[in-house]
Amino acid sequence: MTILRKINFLSIENKEDKENKKMTYDEVDSPVGVLTIITSPQGLHAVLWENDRENEKCKNTIHHLHQSKTEKTIVQTKKQLQEYFQGKRKTFDLPLIIHGTAFQMQVWNELRNIPYAKTISYAEQAAKVGNKNKARAVGLANGLNPISIIIPCHRVIGSNGKLVGFGGGLERKEFLLKLEQNRLITDRVA
């Protein structure tokens, strides 16, 4: 549903050809599958799921990018993701380049305020961005989050406490939440 719009928010296809040539991508194996990282000299533009890559528009966009294993932000992103999956990192320190409407930017910024291993409901997130009745709009904006895991939309759940709506799939959302909760428990015991 959202990959076409995610790619649009990357602003890749709208950039001049000269600037496109500066954008790079690489893939990283992770416990939740192969992730695609898209960067430019300015920072990180996207962390995409495998199912995002199945979309023809996404394939075409990435096909026009240069693959790099050594670009600075790609190296940093891979390292920090690896540390996250090993339970050694709870926050990310990467230059993020995100594009969206003012509302989407507000929603995505609020996601970054959700503490590690904690969850909030879509209604709670909507209240934090100014209107508790916009839970559905918040959910749609979360679904368009181009920087999965690092901007932690997986930490938002249904008001009934159930896992709902996640671009990477509910099994990956559950994995990420359990990873964080288990690490938090391990830290308390240690």
Q: Using an 8 Å Cβ cutoff, are 32 and 175 in contact?
A: yes
Write out the CATH class of domain 3-85: alpha beta
Residue extents of the structural domains in the chain: 3-85, 102-189
Instruction: Please give the CATH number for the structural domain made up of 102-189.
Output: 1.10.10.10
The overall pTM is greater than 0.85: yes
Neighbouring CB atoms inside 10 A of 59's CB total 11
Say which residue, 188 or 98, is predicted with more confidence.
98
CA distance 166 to 33: 15
87-143 pLDDT tens trace: 999 999 999 999 999 999 999 999 999 999 999 999 999 999 998 889 999 999 999
Share of the chain above pLDDT 70, in %: 88
Does the pLDDT value for residue 15 go beyond 60?
A: no
Active site members: 153
Model confidence at 20, pLDDT cuts 50, 70, 90, reads low
Does the pLDDT value for residue 4 go beyond 80?
A: no
- pLDDT recorded at residue 61: 87
* DSSP letters for 121-144: EHHHHHHHTT-TT-HHHHHHHHHT
Same fold, 3-85 and 102-189: no
142-168 pLDDT tens trace: 999 999 999 999 999 998 999 988 888
| Residue 178 burial class via C-beta count within 10 angstroms: exposed 0-12, middle 13-18, buried 19 and up | exposed
- pLDDT recorded at residue 110: 97
Model confidence at 1, pLDDT cuts 50, 70, 90, reads very low
Does the pLDDT value for residue 82 go beyond 80?
A: yes
- pLDDT recorded at residue 57: 84
- pLDDT recorded at residue 60: 86
- pLDDT recorded at residue 104: 96
